[in-house]
Structure 1
Amino acid sequence: MSQCSSVWSFNPFSGQAWTGWRRAALQVCVAGVVGVTACGTSWAATLEGQHFDDTVVLGQQKLQLNGLGLRGVAWVKAFVAGLYVTTPSQDAGALLAESGPRRLRLKIMLQAPSSELTKSLLRRVKRHETPEAQARLAERLDQFAAQLDGLGELMPGDVVDMDYLPAKGLVLSRNGKVAGKPVAGDDLYRAVLQIFVGEHAIDPRMKQGLLGAPV
């Protein structure tokens, strides 16, 4: 397995170990504050050559880019993540509590099987959620995991969206093509989003970038 594949396989989500790499090599780059200026004018953002529009329309509602963060180690870059919300905020609790539509967009920068994302996501949900919450999520989490596995080999340039639509649930898509039926429940989406911006997020600096906060 190549170094690039190893980096992706061991940790696009999980903070457990970029096996073979020293901890000191971990390097997550983040965008600065992205959002609305005092006069109400917004702008688009680019991080590591990955462009994100300042707004998107989801479920007939306009969402604004809250922030960007790069997940990578040393010179190897896995993806840039962007978070879109109805009301930008630097408060993770407020974003997690929001009931409206949201979009977590990953712009892929490294070839890897989507099953590696699935494994990491399941590990993180198990670590973050209580046994009671895990029991409530189990069937739906399995459904979402199967959809994520079904994306197959991810390639540089691919765009993976994890959307939340209140009337439908979590909708997964790759390059604009929906992968399976929506999975109901804002609790499921919150469990996924917590991996990025929750109290025990995968990486504090990436969390700050997605929150649009200075680092």
Structure 2
Amino acid sequence: MQDGRIVLTPFEQQRRQMMAAAMAAALVPLATPAEAATVELEGVPLEETITAYGQKLVLNGAAVRKRGYFKADVTALYLPEKRTTPDAVFKLNGIRRIQLNILREFTSSTISRIFISDFKQNSTDAEFKQLINEISQVGAAYSAVKRVSKGDVVNLDWVPGKGWMCYINGKQLMLDTSAMPGAASNNAINSELAYQIYLRMYIGPAAPEELRNGLLGLTRLPKSSGGGKEAKDADV
């Protein structure tokens, strides 16, 4: 002690500096890249990066899909790499995911009817006849779902080597593929053409412009105020 002051050794000074730095760091809110990489649409948070089937996917874009005057769902398109044209999305190799974040209740009969109507609208007569078995299987699977409600999440995925699969709230939709030529044994429809036509419903020429532009990333999405953790679903 000198003149009433405490004189610290160099070691004690260094230790105090380290303790002060640690305390300051503890008071700073964590801001991880995962928290910053979240957007929000109609109150639905969407992760900009997810992991599906062991592969990293990025949010290509999102938009609100409407049925008449009603907002049906927040649709999100996840791809291995971002693409800004329908043709580029169709030609992209790897996993592709259409995610539907349901905004209102739909009965099974309504879901099935909408799917078949939209599929027919976005396919040629020859394609529709070629895929009649696949269309019937999907329609029957949707009919088996009693209803979807606000907050439900539907993932419709194309996985190379497996096929087209559907998950509702993380549970795989069961398909009767026993009588379907070329069907996989994992409740998947092994027809990339069928999935390509399904994509046309959202980004094809007959799709609403606002929906198509949103999914192609041509519309800027607002950042989420709540943040979040990176979504991981190794099995899905």
Taking structure 1 as the reference length, what is the TM-score of the superposition? 0.75
1:136 lines up with 2:130 in the alignment: yes
Counterpart-to-counterpart distance in 2, 1:98 and 1:115: 33
Relative to structure 1, is the Cα distance of residues 99 and 135 closer, same or farther in structure 2, using a 3 angstrom cutoff?
Answer: farther
Matched, 1:68 2:62: yes
Alignment counterpart, residue 168 of structure 1, candidates 162, 173, 176: 162
The 1-side partners of 2:130 and 2:121 are apart by 15
Partner of 2:197: 191
* Structure 1: stretches of 5+ with no match in the other structure: 1-41
C-alpha deviation, 1:54, in angstroms: 1.1
**Pairing 1:204–2:204 present:** no
How many residues in Structure 1 have an aligned counterpart in Structure 2? Answer: 173
Pick the aligned partner of 1:98 from 76, 92, 96.
Answer: 92
SS at the partner of 2:131? Answer: helix
Q: Relative to structure 1, is the Cα distance of residues 212 and 156 closer, same or farther in structure 2, using a 3 angstrom cutoff? A: same
CA distance in 2, matches of 1:133, 1:83: 24
CA–CA distance in structure 1, aligned partners of residues 150 and 200 of structure 2: 25
Structure-1 separation of matches of 2:116 and 2:89:
22
Task: Tell me the distance in 2 between the aligned counterparts of 1:99 and 1:135.
Answer: 26
Most deviating of 140-149 and 78-87:
140-149
CA apart distance, 1:71: 2.0
Measure, in 2, the Cα distance between the counterparts of 1:147 and 1:73: 21
Aligned to 1:112: 106
Deviation at 1:131, TM superposition (A): 1.8
Asked if the contact 1:45/1:53 (under 8 Å) is kept, the reply is yes
Please, what TM-score do these two structures have when normalized by structure 2? 0.69
Q: Distance in 2 between matches of 1:76 and 1:122?
A: 20
Secondary structure in structure 1 of the residue aligned to 2:62 = strand
- The percentage of aligned residue pairs carrying the same residue is 28
Mean CA deviation greater in 157-166 or 147-156: 147-156
Q: Secondary structure at the match of 2:114?
A: helix
| Counterpart-to-counterpart distance in 2, 1:120 and 1:149 | 11
Aligned-partner Cα distance in 2 for 1:170–1:73: 24
SS in 2 for 1:184: coil
140-149 or 44-53: which moved more? 140-149
Q: Secondary structure at the match of 2:76?
A: strand
Q: Which residue of 2 aligns with 1:145?
A: 139
Query: Over residues 69-89 of structure 1, what are the superposed CA-to-partner deviations in whole Å (9 max), with x where a residue is unaligned?
Result: 112379742210000001111
Q: Determine the C-alpha separation between the residues in 2 that align with 1:117 and 1:174.
A: 13
| Cα deviation code 1:46-104 (max 9, x no counterpart) | 10100111122222211100111112379742210000001111111110222311110
CA RMSD of aligned residues (A): 1.8
Q: Which amino acid aligns with 1:187?
A: L
Query: Does the C-alpha gap of structure 1 residues 47 and 139 become closer, same or farther in structure 2, counting only changes over 3 Å?
Result: same
Q: Give, in whole Å, the separation in 2 of the partners of 1:112 and 1:214.
A: 27
1:127 corresponds, among 116, 121, 130, to 121
Q: Secondary structure at the match of 1:46?
A: strand
Larger Rg: 2
112-121 or 149-158, which deviates more? 112-121
| 5+ residue gaps, structure 2 | 1-35, 175-186, 221-236
Which ranges of 4 or more aligned residues in structure 1 deviate by more than 6 Å? Answer: none
